[in-house]
Chain A
Amino acid sequence: MTSAPAAETSAPGGGTVDAFTAEVIRAGLMAITGEMKTNLMRTAYNQIIYEAEDFTVGLFDENGGTLSIGLGLPMFIRGLSDCVKAKIEHWGRGGIFPGDVLLTNDPEVMGSHLNHLIFTTPVFNDGELVAFSSSMAHWIDVGGVLGGVTQDIYSEGLQLPFVKIFERGEEKRELTALIRMNCRAPERAMGDLRAQLAAIRTGQRRLADLLARYGNAAFRSSVALLFDQSERRAVAAVESIPDGIYEAESYMDDDGVVVGKHIPIAVRVEVRCGEMTIDLSGCAPQVAGYFNSGPTAGRSAAEVAFKFVTTPTLYPINDGAFRPLRIVLPPGRIISATKPSAMRVWMTVPMTVVDTIFKALAPACPERVLAGHHADLISGVAFGFINPATGALHAGTSRGISLPGGGFGATSGSDGMSATVCLNDGDTHNTPVEAGEAKAPVVVIRRALRVDSGGPGRYRGGLGVVQEQETLVPALYESHVERTNCAPWGLLGGRPGMANRVGIVRADGTIERFRSGKVAPLRLEAGDRWLSEAGGAGGFYSPLERDPELVLADVRAGYVSPASAERDYGVVLRRQERGYEIDPRATVELRERLAAEERPAAEERPAAEERPAAEEGVER
């Protein structure tokens, strides 16, 4: 415990609050956003909201600053606040009234695909506009073309500018009708609309209760105190990082249009006097294919990285914790794209941006960062099954089992977690094999950890997962998996993990591989299988420093092959009657030799390949 700075704050309205009232209000804000979250999940019509948690709810101050957000997905950390601010600017505070519901899905404002509709309602107390309650949720369909790589926003569906869908409590029915007409599943769309309204109204009511109880002045000064507390913790964390300029680069495979043309990602982080500037100007210009996202997504990537590094377990997430952060992001980059760029798969690139920021900061604050991770949802799926009798295509939600889960990066003190959703996803679950098989005409052959996919290091990267599924009827397969070329990197001598990969195993045993993870719709026959191989993650520090006993344990558990133990870790194992044991002398010798020979080139080494060459198959 440190001695705390000023515990009391004088309220703008004259009153004072103390740390206790602030803490009670903090607990209140968290409970409200928690209730908004369960409320939305309870009432949403579509599974993406209540199963994949593709939504965010939140409370914002009168300027749009975040008071508390209930996150579904971590990458929405900034989206709501930026949108609320844009709405305030559009209407002006004087143009917003009790009972108004402000709506938009303008991608330039909210940064992601058009399926994300953001609803906001003001919270008034004593005739004063004090706060906002807002929600974003992913609608199952907002029109636009089906299948293939879109190349502009107009092909992705309905765009809504800033509109009031309720004005002083009165619904604008013509607007609702317009939205309804543009959605392929109008019932579900209207259901989700009602769910989002219910969530923001719950937030509005509960926050109004809290305001009525404590008064606007005490509430504002409590919030000011909470922001200050968060800021102090973030500043203390930044101050522990040596001043300097830190840079790193990585790349994406391609944009799905010009397959094979890499997309560079470069970041520059400057730490100076308790302030951090994340400069994303070096990221590639916006691309033709649908991998773009708006400036909010780029800023979210910076904030997610900043939160990981400074206040990873501080809740609720509020704006105070981001005060020491400056973000430089000129328009027109792949993560600050302007109209009319396509954004349907907006979520992929920002994850790699976060990883690249960690990579830049690794020499400065190794104890606060992670090595690179698999950074993709691994969405290689059978998107439609074909009725063998009629030839009709059933494109529905039953795609077999999705989301394999890949490796998470090692840290400076611990191995990375295996089989985990990527950074974009948070509390998102995979499909149980027993559930997937009951719904779709598939048989899962295996769901297994990929041996040696975790990047070697003193701390090993997490392992990725391979899922192999056989279709029982003809089907159409497509994939937009990224990061199949740029393997998840290790840090400070740690080695990369295996990259993501997809493939087809035909019924006759032939294996088809692809130049990247982008596969245009492709027909599978009954008995064909598709492989989704999620990458592992990078290791931390040189694998030659890993405790040989831990390497042995990894070999015994089958996370690491004996060959990799020797080649990557320099640990020589002898096969005994009952498993392996370490040859200590040979290990010391080998490690000395490897340290002398290989360390300079360590970071350049490609990931070890899992399958023997014969199984690699033909590249398409």
Chain B
Amino acid sequence: MRVAADIGGTFTDVAAYDETTGEILLSKTLSTPRALEQGVREGITRTTPDLTGIDSVIHGSTLVINAIIERQGARTALVTTKGFRDVYEIGRINRPDSFNPRFRKHRPLVPREMVYELDERVLADGTVRAPFDEAEARRLASLLVEEGVEAVAVVFLHAYRYPDHETRMAEILREASPDLYVSVSHELSREYREYERTSTTAANAYVGRRVSDYLASLQSGLRGDGFGGSLLIMQSNGGLTDLQNARRQCVQMMESGPAGGVVGTMALCELLDIDSAVSFDMGGTTAKSCVIRRGEPSFSPDYFVGGYNEGLVMRIPVLEIVEVGTGGGSIAWLDDGGGLHVGPRSSGAEPGPACYGRGGLEPTITDANVALGRLDPKRFLGGEMVLDPEAARAALRHRVVEPLGVDLERAASGMLEVATAQMANAVRGVTLQRGLDPRDFTLFAFGGGGPLHAAAVAKELSISTVVVPVSPGHFSAVGMLMADLRRDLAQTLFRRLASLPMAELEQEFSRLEHEGRGALERSGIATDRVVFERAADMRYVGQEHSVTVRLPASFDPDDDVGRKELKHLFDEAHEQRYSHSAEEQPADVVTLRLSAIGRLAKPVLAEIERGSATPPASSERGERSVVFPLSGATPARVLAREALLAGNLVEGPAVIEETASTTVVEPGDSLEVDRYGHLVIHLGARR
């Protein structure tokens, strides 16, 4: 038995895979922010009452990101190189919100009075210019303990190259008080750029104690329930890590929830033999998109908690997910100039959309869907919740219909047009803006709202195929079941390629592989096999930005030949990314990257019963009037997803209902059920 538990903002989703039956069991419970651990245990018990049969529990949580956004971390100090106390506050000095007189910069997690300098200095080539001052370090350590500091981040310049001073400082701090949570920059990132490393290390120290304690108590709680397997933690890189490592590198958990959906999409791409896919994950407040090509997701060059404009940068490997503030709960509103907008403000879980009947008065996307007949008010969440269509219509009338002088149908469908345009921009962000043509991609729709809006979004981008996986409403948790163990390592080198001996390159990679293998072995998790992926960040001499180049497992040991191979790969990668390259220009090798992946056995998806082209009578739920973008109100066939069989064909207009989601098939589109029960929608031409 393998179980995945994903704590989200509103719900805790659990997916349990039973190897003997091939079955996946699901549960959805309300998250319990005050007692997260209990919520997880409760969710697991719902799918798997007997915990003794579970081999592994995979866990993803919004705990880390919430602790940072809500500023609920430890009393943290930062120790850094003399002369550089203000690196954290100065940041990168950019001002993206360019015309706003009240723009805000990032707000450090450690206030300036808690930032201390130490006399030590290392240069870019790793030589020591000023030695580490032991006596001062000891004085500082006892001062911090005296001040009641709970956590300390240590960041020295060029520590990616020469970590000894950081290591020594950590030892001295731990000697001063074993209770201190100490985080040193080179353990989290061995890449250059001091502000980014400082921000990452400070965040890790800030949340470390709390997250570490939570994970430890979750583990012992599960043990108490009879669980004897291993607890694995979902990371932002789409891979899993062991508890020990997660407790030291808490920031790696930052985006674990969204990563689950991407990993699930990757697994389905492999299963269905799809080369290029884009995920479309629409929840209550946002829609998110990520690209997968040749089985690989793309990674963000930069990741910010709290948004680009004023957020905190984290130098951790994070899947490149573009998000827009458009979800089911997004509210339609008019600005002072009469412009209509949808989101980013959301009605959230409380009071929720007007149709929830919990006091919400503002019209949301969900209300528009109800008003247009796209959602059945009686079958929302499998009928657990009855929606109030009159409340939805009233909200629309007061806030949109009357001020704009349009009819109700136009107001509701207009809201969906706006939402579609915005959500299509998220997909554009990961495709067109990266030089990729969305027409080459299959769109995977999940999250509560994904299947409802996928066809419209896909048509905006001339995508021809949409896949709605099984249990789209639980897909993040299901995806986590498909993840491998993964450890990403990096080492900044700063070397001219022309003078880099191939033997040294090989030695550096071997060292990283040794470290990666060691980390996977120490986790104690049995893997099928360990694979390594090598890459290097390279640039032309004089450039600042570099390109990550995928490298083969080995090079020709002859320096001239090996360098030529490497240079050629870089030129190609540069050409692909920037549409030009310069064969004659010399290159730098900036940073080496190694991913150590411990392959785990994947759940084998069970095939569903095969039927004919015609859906069985048991799936028929009659017909209702649904408003579609071009055709207006049209009678649409309603079908129950759980009764559909492999090979069934459905021509739009139709609506496929299931517990946590609804799939809309527009007129002119056709849907096919594949052998695993995925809904594959072939889209007609866009208008």
Question: Measuring CB to CB, which residues of chain A are less than 8 angstroms from any residue of chain B?
Answer: 1-8, 18-24, 26-28, 30-31, 34-35, 38-39, 42-43, 45, 47, 50-51, 71, 74, 187, 191, 194-195, 198, 213, 226, 228-233, 236, 304, 307-308, 312-313, 368-370, 396-398, 403-405, 408-409, 411, 413-414, 417-421, 425-435, 437-438, 443-449, 465, 468, 556-559
> Which of A18, A28, A198, A313 is the one whose CB lies under 8 Å from B404?
A18
Flag if A465 contacts B86 (CB, 8 Å): yes
Stretch at the interface among B32-40, B50-58, B93-101, B134-142: B93-101
Flag if A426 contacts B340 (CB, 8 Å): no
Residue of A nearest to B414 (CB): A20
Question: Complex formed: what's the CA distance from A417 to B91 in Å?
Answer: 12
Q: Which of A213, A226, A438, A468 has the most CB of B within 10 A?
A: A438
Is B92 an interface residue when CB atoms closer than 8 A count as contact? yes
Question: Complex formed: what's the CA distance from A469 to B649 in Å?
Answer: 71
Mask: chain B, 118-131; 1 = CB below 8 Å from A; 0 = not: 00000110000100
Q: How many residue-residue contacts, CB under 8 A, span A and B?
A: 236
Q: Which of A22, A24, A312 has the most CB of B within 10 A?
A: A24
Residues in B neighbouring A426, C-beta threshold 8 A: 94-96, 98
Residues in A neighbouring B578, C-beta threshold 8 A: 42-43
Flag if B83 contacts A444 (CB, 8 Å): yes
Flag if A20 contacts B192 (CB, 8 Å): no
CB distance from B103 to the nearest CB of A (A): 7
Residues in A neighbouring B105, C-beta threshold 8 A: 417-420
CB-based closest 4 A-B pairs: A20-B414, A405-B93, A4-B338, A446-B83
Residues in A neighbouring B195, C-beta threshold 8 A: 432
Mask: chain B, 388-401; 1 = CB below 8 Å from A; 0 = not: 00000000000100
Besides A413-B102, A427-B95, A434-B194, 17 more A-B contacts (Cβ < 8 Å) are A2-B336, A7-B340, A7-B405, A27-B425, A28-B421, A31-B424, A74-B98, A213-B687, A228-B337, A233-B335, A308-B100, A312-B99, A312-B102, A418-B89, A419-B86, A432-B192, A556-B113
Flag if A438 contacts B124 (CB, 8 Å): yes
Residues in B neighbouring A404, C-beta threshold 8 A: 93
Is B217 an interface residue when CB atoms closer than 8 A count as contact? no
CB distance from A596 to the nearest CB of B (A): 32
Residues in A neighbouring B511, C-beta threshold 8 A: none
Residues in A neighbouring B542, C-beta threshold 8 A: 47, 396-398
CB distance from A405 to the nearest CB of B (A): 3
> Could you pull out 25 A-B pairs where Cβ atoms are within 8 angstroms?
A4-B337, A8-B406, A18-B404, A19-B404, A20-B418, A22-B339, A31-B424, A35-B428, A232-B338, A236-B336, A368-B101, A369-B101, A397-B542, A418-B90, A421-B95, A428-B94, A430-B90, A432-B192, A433-B84, A434-B124, A435-B192, A438-B494, A444-B83, A446-B83, A448-B84
> Which of A31, A230, A419 is the one whose CB lies under 8 Å from B90?
A419
Question: Complex formed: what's the CA distance from A435 to B545 in Å?
Answer: 10
- Interface residues of B, CB < 8 Å — how many? 78
Question: Complex formed: what's the CA distance from A229 to B337 in Å?
Answer: 4
CB distance from B75 to the nearest CB of A (A): 15
**With A230-B337, A435-B544 given, is the CB distance from A429 to B84 under 8 Å?**
no
**With A2-B336, A437-B123 given, is the CB distance from A312 to B93 under 8 Å?**
no
Residue of B nearest to A233 (CB): B337
CB distance from B101 to the nearest CB of A (A): 5
Question: Complex formed: what's the CA distance from A166 to B552 in Å?
Answer: 43
**With A7-B404, A231-B337 given, is the CB distance from A38 to B433 under 8 Å?**
yes
> Which of A27, A34, A229, A308 is the one whose CB lies under 8 Å from B99?
A308
Residues in A neighbouring B424, C-beta threshold 8 A: 31
Q: Which of B192, B336, B578, B582 has the most CB of A within 10 A?
A: B336
Flag if A427 contacts B96 (CB, 8 Å): yes
Is B439 an interface residue when CB atoms closer than 8 A count as contact? no
Residues in B neighbouring A368, C-beta threshold 8 A: 101
**With A313-B97, A413-B102 given, is the CB distance from A432 to B193 under 8 Å?**
yes
Question: Complex formed: what's the CA distance from A437 to B126 in Å?
Answer: 11
Flag if B338 contacts A5 (CB, 8 Å): yes
Residue of B nearest to A71 (CB): B98
Flag if A19 contacts B90 (CB, 8 Å): no
Question: Complex formed: what's the CA distance from A432 to B336 in Å?
Answer: 42
> Which of B85, B94, B124 is the one whose CB lies under 8 Å from A437?
B124
> Which of A1, A187, A444 is the one whose CB lies under 8 Å from B399?
A1
Mask: chain B, 145-183; 1 = CB below 8 Å from A; 0 = not: 000000000000110100000000000000000000000
Question: Complex formed: what's the CA distance from A236 to B337 in Å?
Answer: 9
CB distance from A20 to the nearest CB of B (A): 3
Flag if A19 contacts B494 (CB, 8 Å): no
